[in-house]
Structure 1
């Protein structure tokens, strides 16, 4: 039997010989900071390269209608009152469409102020007289007067100043162009004198001119 004092001295001690002491807190903090420094340094080295690559890719991107529209939508200036969309400067162009059919030029009517000259025609007639007086003065035989009366009545209604708004034909027999009449195309005597030569020269007689007019309604 072991005495009491020996049993006390032989009591077991805590088993701490095989365990490592925990590292101080200061050493752990230093390791974490060192790791963060390495990550930050690596990011600083890689970031310029990534930005340059992205910028190069954006510069090489093709210009499309979508990309232009996207750029336009960014052209906005924000003010205190709200969003103010600044106007865009755009080019202009003109397109000429050729009319079909080609329009005919409109003749400028002669003056009707009682003898004043029009810019593109002779003065109107204001002298008066009868159709018989005019045919006699023009040298037309009285036997041809019925044929002349028929044609002139349908061409101008015996109005010396009659003008065709579309073609510019003028006078009693609607001479075209009006300038071919020697003298004044609106003077009834000058107009009939020219018509007398036209009827005989083109058709052979006023009777033949009358026959042509009744079939074609022009001469």
Structure 2
């Protein structure tokens, strides 16, 4: 009895795993392997999709054909015509753009020709310059010698003070007017335009002939600042 039981026990220990349990173990292993395969497949698919998303724009840009007949815009033309600017430590170095060369001739400004006063006696422009006045005297003496009434002296003094400052040798460099009253042209004055008596004598005829009197000449000067 004991030997049989021992044999039965050994047989029981060496007996194979029941079919139901073995089948369930193999099924679980297959499910786990299949699950790992599916997960691995989708993981690989995600990696490939991500890489494609990164590379696709570059590939499209490289694959896009360049249109040779694309019209040039105003911006592209201006950009091509600009100067190349390189900034250095010492500042900006500008490379000049090659352009067509041309020459510009600038006519020099003519120098003004100095006005030459006429010689005594109205000899015209060919008579040489008049000698300056150096005979001395004072405004009252000059007006009296020119025959100007004393009642007009205040009008004469007002005009002469503003025209020449009572300088017999005063000359306008631009117009050539000369003398106490700035006679223009100087050749109109009989005698010497720089002589104060000759200048005032001519001015009396000018004032009465154009303005009626020295008072009329004074009124015109105060309104227009010339006479």
TM-score (norm 1): 0.49
More helix, by proportion: 2
Greater Rg, structure 1 or structure 2? Answer: 2
